[in-house]
A and B are shown apart, each in its own frame.
Chain A
Amino acid sequence: MHGRPRRPAKPEDEKAASAKAAKLRDLQAQVLQNHHSRTYTKEAIGLSFKLLEINPEAYTAWNYRKLAFQHNIKELSDPEAIRSAVDDELRVVEVALRQNPKSYGAWYHRKWLLNQKLAPVDSKREFGLLNKLLKVDARNFHGWNYRRFLARFMGVPDEEELKYTMDKISDNFSNYSAWHNRSILLSNLLIQQSKGFESKQKIFSEEFELVTQALFTDPSDQSGWFYHLWLLAQTSSPDNPQLIASWPCDGAKLSSSFVKENVEQNTLSSIWCHSLKEKTVPIVLYFNEPVKGLNQSSVKLKSDLDFGKDVHWRALSVTDSGYSNCWTTYLQITNECSSSQQYSVEVSIPSSDGIVSRSGSNYNCPVHFTFTIELISDDAQGIDLFDKPVAWNCSESLESHGNCKAIPFDPLKITSALVEDSNWHFERLTEEIDLFRELPDDKCKFVNLTLARLLLACAAIKSRGRSPIERKKYCEEALAHFSDLIHLDPSHKQYYEDERSLVLMDKLTCDMETFMKHCSVQVQNSVPLNHVQLCRLSLTCVGFVERLMWVQVLDLSHNSLRSIEGLEALQQLVSLNISNNHISSFTALEPLTKIMFLKVLDLSFNEIGAHSIDTTRYICSSPFSHKIEVCEAFEECQKKNINVEEYWDAILFFKSLKLAQLDIKGNAVASKENFRTLIMTLIPSLKSINGECVN
Chain B
Amino acid sequence: MAEEPAAAGAAHEYPTIDPSFDVVLCGTGLPESVLAAACAAAGKTVLHVDPNPFYGSHYTSIPLLSLASFLSPDPSPSSSTVAAAATSGSHTVVDLHRRTVYSEVETSGAIPELARRFTVDLVGPRVLYCADEAVDLLLRSGGSHHVEFKSVDGGSLLYWEGCLYPVPGSRGAIFSDTTLKHTEKFVAYKFLKVVQEHIAATSASADERGEEEDAAMISEEDLYRPFVEFLNQHSLSAKMRAVVLYAIAMADYDQDGPEPSDKLITTREGIKTIALYLSSIGRFANAEGAFIYPMYGHGELPQAFCRCAAVKGALYVLRMPVAALLMDEEKKHFVGARLASGQDISCKRLIIDPSYKIPTLDVPSDDSNSNFPRSVARGICIFSKSLKQGTSNVLVVFPPKSLEEKQVAAVRLLQLSSNLAVCPSGMFMAYLSTPCTDASAGKHCIKKAIDALFSPQPQDSDGFEGHLESTSESTDDMKPTLIWSCVYVQEITQGTSTSGSSWSCPMPDENLDYRNILESTKKLFADIYPDEEFLPRNSAPVHGDDDSDSAE
8 Å CB interface, B182-215 against A: 182-183, 185-190, 193
B175 sits at the interface (CB 8 A): yes
Binary per-residue interface labels of chain A (191-233) against chain B in the complex, 1 for a CB within 8 Å, 0 otherwise: 0000000000000000000001110111100000000000000
Interface size range of chain B in the complex = 10 to 19
**A219 & B186 in contact (Cβ 8 Å cutoff):** yes
Q: Which residues from chain B contact A306 at a C-beta distance below 8 Å? A: none
Indicate which residue in B176, B182, B183, B189 contacts A218 across the interface (CB closer than 8 Å). Answer: B189
A259 sits at the interface (CB 8 A): no
Indicate which residue in A212, A217, A219 contacts B171 across the interface (CB closer than 8 Å). Answer: A217
CA distance A73 to B189 in the complex (A): 57
Q: Which residues from chain A contact B174 at a C-beta distance below 8 Å? A: 217
**B182 & A212 in contact (Cβ 8 Å cutoff):** yes
**B183 & A217 in contact (Cβ 8 Å cutoff):** no
A435 sits at the interface (CB 8 A): yes
A438 sits at the interface (CB 8 A): yes
Q: Which residues from chain B contact A173 at a C-beta distance below 8 Å? A: 172, 175
CB distance from A669 to the nearest CB of B (A): 45
Q: Which residues from chain A contact B183 at a C-beta distance below 8 Å? A: 216, 438-440
Q: Which residues from chain B contact A218 at a C-beta distance below 8 Å? A: 171, 175, 189, 193
**B186 & A170 in contact (Cβ 8 Å cutoff):** no
CA distance A440 to B190 in the complex (A): 11
CA distance A441 to B234 in the complex (A): 13
**A439 & B182 in contact (Cβ 8 Å cutoff):** yes
CB-CB nearest in chain B for A435: B182
Q: Point out which of A214, A217, A219 has the most chain B C-beta atoms below 10 A from its C-beta.
A: A217
**B172 & A172 in contact (Cβ 8 Å cutoff):** yes
CB distance from A668 to the nearest CB of B (A): 42
CB distance from A440 to the nearest CB of B (A): 6
Indicate which residue in A171, A172, A216 contacts B185 across the interface (CB closer than 8 Å). Answer: A216
**B189 & A217 in contact (Cβ 8 Å cutoff):** yes
CA distance A79 to B72 in the complex (A): 75
CA distance A363 to B186 in the complex (A): 43
**B172 & A170 in contact (Cβ 8 Å cutoff):** yes
CB distance from B264 to the nearest CB of A (A): 27
**A440 & B172 in contact (Cβ 8 Å cutoff):** no
**B182 & A441 in contact (Cβ 8 Å cutoff):** no
Q: Which residues from chain B contact A170 at a C-beta distance below 8 Å? A: 172, 175-176
Indicate which residue in A171, A212, A440 contacts B187 across the interface (CB closer than 8 Å). Answer: A440
CA distance A218 to B174 in the complex (A): 9
Number of A residues contacting the other chain (C-beta, 8 Å)? 16
**A214 & B175 in contact (Cβ 8 Å cutoff):** yes
**A438 & B171 in contact (Cβ 8 Å cutoff):** no
CA distance A170 to B171 in the complex (A): 10
Q: Which residues from chain B contact A216 at a C-beta distance below 8 Å? A: 182-183, 185-186
**B189 & A171 in contact (Cβ 8 Å cutoff):** no
8 Å CB interface, A116-171 against B: 170-171
Q: Which residues from chain A contact B171 at a C-beta distance below 8 Å? A: 172, 217-218
CB-CB nearest in chain B for A214: B175
CB-CB nearest in chain A for B188: A217
Q: Which residues from chain B contact A439 at a C-beta distance below 8 Å? A: 182-183, 186
8 Å CB interface, A430-459 against B: 435, 438-441
CA distance A219 to B174 in the complex (A): 13
CB distance from B16 to the nearest CB of A (A): 59
Q: Which residues from chain B contact A214 at a C-beta distance below 8 Å? A: 175
Q: Which residues from chain A contact B175 at a C-beta distance below 8 Å? A: 170, 173, 213-214, 217-218
Binary per-residue interface labels of chain B (155-193) against chain A in the complex, 1 for a CB within 8 Å, 0 otherwise: 000000000000000011011100000110111111001
CB-CB nearest in chain A for B187: A440
**A441 & B185 in contact (Cβ 8 Å cutoff):** no
**B187 & A217 in contact (Cβ 8 Å cutoff):** no
**A213 & B172 in contact (Cβ 8 Å cutoff):** no
Binary per-residue interface labels of chain B (248-272) against chain A in the complex, 1 for a CB within 8 Å, 0 otherwise: 0000000000000000000000000
CA distance A214 to B182 in the complex (A): 9
CB-CB nearest in chain B for A439: B186
Q: Which residues from chain B contact A212 at a C-beta distance below 8 Å? A: 182
CB distance from B216 to the nearest CB of A (A): 14
CB distance from B195 to the nearest CB of A (A): 14
CA distance A219 to B190 in the complex (A): 9
Indicate which residue in B176, B187, B190, B193 contacts A213 across the interface (CB closer than 8 Å). Answer: B176
Q: Which residues from chain A contact B185 at a C-beta distance below 8 Å? A: 213, 216-217
Q: Which residues from chain A contact B193 at a C-beta distance below 8 Å? A: 218
CA distance A439 to B186 in the complex (A): 8
Q: Which residues from chain B contact A438 at a C-beta distance below 8 Å? A: 182-183
Q: Which residues from chain B contact A435 at a C-beta distance below 8 Å? A: 182
CA distance A213 to B172 in the complex (A): 11
CB distance from A353 to the nearest CB of B (A): 43
CA distance A173 to B189 in the complex (A): 13
CB distance from B141 to the nearest CB of A (A): 32
Q: Point out which of B171, B172, B175, B189 has the most chain A C-beta atoms below 10 A from its C-beta.
A: B175
CA distance A219 to B172 in the complex (A): 14
8 Å CB interface, A356-409 against B: none
Q: Which residues from chain B contact A213 at a C-beta distance below 8 Å? A: 175-176, 182, 185
CA distance A216 to B183 in the complex (A): 7
CB-CB nearest in chain A for B190: A441
CB distance from B192 to the nearest CB of A (A): 9
Q: Which residues from chain A contact B186 at a C-beta distance below 8 Å? A: 216-217, 219, 439-441
CA distance A502 to B439 in the complex (A): 73
Q: Point out which of B176, B190, B193 has the most chain A C-beta atoms below 10 A from its C-beta.
A: B176
CA distance A214 to B176 in the complex (A): 8
Tell me whether A171 and B182 are in contact in the complex, defined as CB-CB below 8 angstroms, given that A217-B189, A218-B189, A440-B187 are known contacts: no
Q: Point out which of B171, B182, B189 has the most chain A C-beta atoms below 10 A from its C-beta.
A: B182
CB-CB nearest in chain A for B189: A217
CA distance A70 to B257 in the complex (A): 79
CB distance from A226 to the nearest CB of B (A): 16
Further pairs besides A216-B182, A217-B188, A441-B190: 7, Cβ < 8 Å: A170-B172, A212-B182, A213-B175, A213-B176, A216-B183, A216-B186, A440-B187
Q: Give B residues with C-beta under 8 Å from A.
A: 171-172, 174-176, 182-183, 185-190, 193
Nearest 5 A/B pairs, CB to CB: A216-B182, A216-B185, A217-B175, A217-B185, A216-B186
Q: Give A residues with C-beta under 8 Å from B.
A: 170-173, 212-214, 216-219, 435, 438-441
List 5 A–B pairs whose Cβ atoms lie within 8 Å, in order of A's numbering: A171-B172, A213-B176, A213-B182, A217-B185, A217-B186
